[in-house]
Chains A and B, each alone.
Chain A
Amino acid sequence: QVQLQESGPGLVKPSQTLSLTCTVSGGSISSGDYYWSWIRQPPGKGLEWIGYIYYSGSTYYNPSLKSRVTISVDTSKNQFSLKLSSVTAADTAVYYCATPGYWGQGTLVTVSS
């Protein structure tokens, strides 16, 4: 059973870079042709896809966030990561990592000074 766990700071200052890591257990990030996603949900709002990465390193981003997003993968650690630059209060959200059929529990990131 694949499990995903998000980790990273819960508070980020405006204009700084949000950085999160997703650790995958119960399966290899390198096995199969699956994509590994980041998805977020602002408080009380709907789900927004941020982007995903294949283990090969190919990345695909939401056009509305593309200029600020970088997703990377570390197959040796079975992890993939999210960086979102120049954050504002509008980036406050629960951030989820996911792969088809499996989601992490989510982590709340608040952007505030």
Chain B
Amino acid sequence: DIQMTQSPSSLSASVGDRVTITCQASQDISNYLNWYQQKPGKAPKLLIYDASNLETGVPSRFSGSGSGTDFTFTISSLQPEDIATYYCQQYDNLLSFGGGTKVEIK
């Protein structure tokens, strides 16, 4: 099975800061990667699919890049409503999730 290593596990940043999360796959997954946002008590919400495509209705401050084994998720200007836990998920071979990154406001 494919292991997804996500880092950091948590971060604290100020409003307006650029935030970057990385996700590394244990083998080549091409671009078969999603990024999700999960707020407390809610189901995860898809933000980015196919590594870099923005889901309809998602603000453009969210972006994703990468292919193969190394991927990056970026919030260009952190907003208070972005406080959440973010997960990467591969779907190249079955499904598996990264461990999550909890984003807090400094």
Contact = CB atoms under 8 A, between A and B. Distances in A.
Interface of A: 37, 39, 46-49, 52, 60, 62-63, 96, 98, 100-101, 103-106
Among B44, B89, B95, residue most surrounded by chain A Cβ atoms (within 10 Å): B95
A37 B95 contact: yes
Contacts of B95: 37, 39, 49, 52
Top 10 A-B pairs ranked by shortest CB distance?
Answer: A103-B43, A49-B95, A47-B97, A46-B100, A46-B99, A106-B43, A63-B1, A60-B94, A101-B46, A105-B43
A101 B97 contact: no
Interface of B is mostly: loop
B94 A62 contact: yes
A49 B46 contact: no
Contacts of A48: 97
Contacts of A37: 95
Contacts of A106: 43
A72 B25 CA distance: 30
A4 to B, nearest CB: 9
B74 interface: no
B100 A47 contact: yes
B96 interface: yes
B33 to A, nearest CB: 13
Interface string B64-106: 0000000000000000000000010101001111111000000
